Amino acid sequence: MKTKRQKLTRTRAPYVLGVTVAGRTIYAVLLKREADGVEVVRRFTRQRVARFASMQQGVPEVKGQEAGGDFSIQFGGSGAATPFLKAEFDLSGDGAGNEQLPPATLFVMELSDILAECKEAGYGDPEVAFCLPSVDLAYVELRLPRSVKHTEQDTGPVDRKALLELLEQQVGTPLEEEQVAFLPMTPVDTETHRFLAIYPRPSEPVTATLQALKAESNRRLPRTRLFETEVSLYLGLARTAIRQLASESSEACSLVLRVGSDDTLVLFLQGDTLQHAESLRSLTVHDTADTICSRILLLQDEYGIGEISHVFLVSEHGETELPRSLSVFFPNAQIENLRVYLPLDDQEIGPGSLAAQLAALRLVGDPTFLKAFEPVNLFPSSLRRRWELPFGWQVWALYALLFVTTLFFVWRYLTLEAELNVRRERLRQLPPAIAATDARALQARIDSLNARTQQALRALDILDSLLVGSDRWSRALAQLSREVAAVRGIWVDSWRPRARGVELKGSAIARDRVVALARRLNGVIRALTFSEIRGWPVYAFVIEIPLPDELPEPARYLREQFAANAQPTQSKPSNP
């Protein structure tokens, strides 16, 4: 049954990355906030490589844990043997089993690779929401008497403090308050609350991975905002589905079944409230569908669960065989795939990435959709990414540059202030008549002095032109000297005047030098002969250079001055 797609609202970051760890595979989904909703940008799948962390890197080891394995075999003797698969059938204690768990398996390289791929693709630095695997979480059922103030099932400050104290008494060791979540459950009577306490085991890999990243100086912690659990995520999505089934009774029982490669997660709901949750490590996707259904029936009989009216299925494999067996074992139940209720227009939602998408939606989802989810966040504050200044040589170089710049501007300010004081003092020393003169008159005098100065400079330039290269032949000789020096590898033997120019005779070490000289002088090559002198080629040439018939520059200047002075005189009217 497909649901109506819901629009999702805006959050702080445009990109959110949801990451979940399922056995030996890591699933990640990158969501992007759009104006009209949320879209899936990219999916990531990475196979984990076994890299184990020390106990100091992971969650601190719970005090009072006994050394031992999941099973023990004893031959002979009268001693009592430990039950086979103790972690599976041990229903007493904290639910985590008192066994010595192996160290956490890190996925530093896989997570860094995913974040690097997001950065290279232009998705910036996304916020990250992790979904903690169910096999690495401890589940403890707590029962708390109802108080007078709190007659409803809530997790207010008073109830949470009392629940934490009760959990620590039952577990036998102090726990971090921010890493414990309490999910309300259906009460057994009118005087007792029931809660499901969830906290990470020492083998939980996400915390150990982030601590390993934090320990490495060359790596940067991701912008982690959320640690979610599979139980709370699937419970919230199942509540959304149940609330959309208007025809169902509020007391009807539902089943959420997630079959994975490490365990099978079973959630029984009465209405939209959690009734029982259990992680079955002995059942995986490798077991037959009949075996899984039989075990679920045993749990239903053991905990007195009523008739199942709805089954929500999440499976990594066998999505065709398992619904067929469930329809046989639960003939009156409606069987649906839980991922169809995900509020995304995405037809390629894989079973492994469903939890990752739900974790990302906790940060970017629509508030109306998130009302069905419990506010669970097991992320420790010690792993939050803080802004730190890297005091390396770059920072000290920046400080030095800032210090030198400050000194320069202070020195410049003092220098300008001193010059201003000097000019003010000079103004004070001027006579009062000059100081009281109109600014326009002073400006006119300054302009007149500037004009006379420019006129004197032009006269000096004309005087210089009179001394050097002012006539026709001197200017031609000066031009010839400049061009021969510019071409190089050429020399002039004779200079002979002609009717309209000058005839040059000389030699050059290359023919192109002769052509270049003729081009620069606008001349015509009349003769060009080749000879060898001491084994070197020598070209003898004859070039005619035209000389322009122009007046010297002093003569032109004098004529211009004469014309300028004569015009006002001619235009002046004569006296009668």
pLDDT digits (tens, 9 = 90+) for 506-539: 988 888 888 888 888 888 888 888 888 888 888 8
pLDDT score for 385: 65
pLDDT at 5 over 50: no
pLDDT score for 568: 52
Find the Cα–Cα–Cα–Cα dihedral 552, 555, 557, 560, rounded to 10°: -130
Paired strand residues for 228:
131
Answer for the pair 77, 57: CB distance below 8 angstroms, yes or no: no
Nearest C-alpha neighbor of 54 from the set 247, 212, 197: 212
pLDDT at 241 over 80: yes
pLDDT score for 477: 81
If DSSP codes are grouped into helix, strand and coil, which group holds residue 566? helix
Residues in the chain: 576
Question: What DSSP string describes 411-444?
Answer: HHHHHHHHHHHHHHHHHHHS-HHHHTS-HHHHHH
β-strand 334-337 against 490-497: which pairing, if any? unpaired
Higher pLDDT, 239 or 427: 239
- Mean pLDDT, range 560-571, rounded to an integer: 58
pLDDT at 416 over 80: yes
pLDDT score for 61: 44
Q: Where in the chain is the domain with CATH 3.30.1360.100?
A: 472-546
Dig out the tokens for 369 from the structure.
């959709």
pLDDT score for 221: 81
pLDDT score for 18: 92
β-strand 181-185 against 308-315: which pairing, if any? unpaired
pLDDT digits (tens, 9 = 90+) for 490-505: 888 888 887 778 888 8
Which residues touch 261 (CB under 8 Å, ≥6 apart)? 22, 23, 24, 25, 284, 285, 286, 316
Dig out the tokens for 107 from the structure.
């996925």
pLDDT score for 52: 64
Higher pLDDT, 192 or 389: 192
pLDDT at 75 over 60: no
Give the integer Cα–Cα distance in Å for 445 and 442: 5
One CATH from 3.60.120.10, 3.40.50.300, 3.30.110.30, 3.30.1360.100 for 472-546: 3.30.1360.100
Mean pLDDT estimate for the chain: 78
- Mean pLDDT, range 257-282, rounded to an integer: 90
pLDDT at 565 over 90: no
Nearest C-alpha neighbor of 344 from the set 10, 28, 36, 11: 36
pLDDT score for 499: 73
Give the integer Cα–Cα distance in Å for 461 and 457: 6
pLDDT digits (tens, 9 = 90+) for 128-175: 999 988 888 999 998 888 764 444 445 444 468 888 889 999 988 888
pLDDT score for 247: 53
Dig out the tokens for 418 from the structure.
């001193």
Lowest mean pLDDT of 214-223, 266-275, 490-499, name the range.
214-223
pLDDT at 570 over 90: no
Answer for the pair 26, 45: CB distance below 8 angstroms, yes or no: yes
Lowest mean pLDDT of 136-150, 259-273, 370-384, 480-494, name the range.
136-150
Paired strand residues for 18:
29, 129
- Mean pLDDT, range 260-276, rounded to an integer: 90
pLDDT at 303 over 70: yes
pLDDT score for 550: 64
Nearest C-alpha neighbor of 18 from the set 49, 44, 37, 48: 44
Q: Which amino acid is at 470?
A: S
- Mean pLDDT, range 361-390, rounded to an integer: 80
pLDDT at 190 over 50: yes
- Mean pLDDT, range 48-57, rounded to an integer: 62
